[in-house]
Amino acid sequence: MSNFFKPVFDLEDYFDKKVHIRFLEGREVSGVLKGYDSNSNCVLDQAIEYLTDANGNLLQPPQIMFLGLMFCKGSSITSIFPEEGSTIIENK
């Protein structure tokens, strides 16, 4: 029952940090988390979108589009993770 008051999606830890947000259709955006709420709607500053090809795979080398200040609707968010501590492993 304590989870009821403090949602797991407590983005307090990620506040003012650079985070990656993944969306339902495979879009990926990264930016500094400036605001959030219980529905996990997010406000990102200095947001960058990583562009994908027609199949939804991220383009290699990554091509970016600069978005600036953006609002992300929580209902279409898949996952959120902080950029620090994330490393790419090649050839799974």
Comparing CB distances to another protein, the nearer of 63 and 68 is: 63
Comparing CB distances to another protein, the nearer of 47 and 72 is: 72
Question: CA distances (Å), 1 to each of 32, 38, 40, 49, 54, in order?
Answer: 31, 16, 20, 37, 44
The least CB distance from residue 63 to another protein, in Å, is: 16
Comparing CB distances to another protein, the nearer of 51 and 68 is: 51
Among 12, 16, 57, 61, indicate the residue that binds another protein (CB under 8 A): 57
Omega prior to 61 cis, within 30 of 0: yes
Question: CA distances (Å), 8 to each of 12, 16, 41, 55, 85, in order?
Answer: 10, 18, 14, 32, 20
Q: What is the DSSP letter of 25?
A: T
The least CB distance from residue 25 to another protein, in Å, is: 8
24 near another protein (CB under 8 A): yes
- Picking from 59, 79, 67, 56, the residue whose alpha carbon sits closest to that of residue 9 is 79
Binding footprint of another protein on the chain (CB under 8 A): 3-4, 7-9, 11, 13, 22, 24-26, 40, 55, 57-58, 74-75, 77-82, 84-92
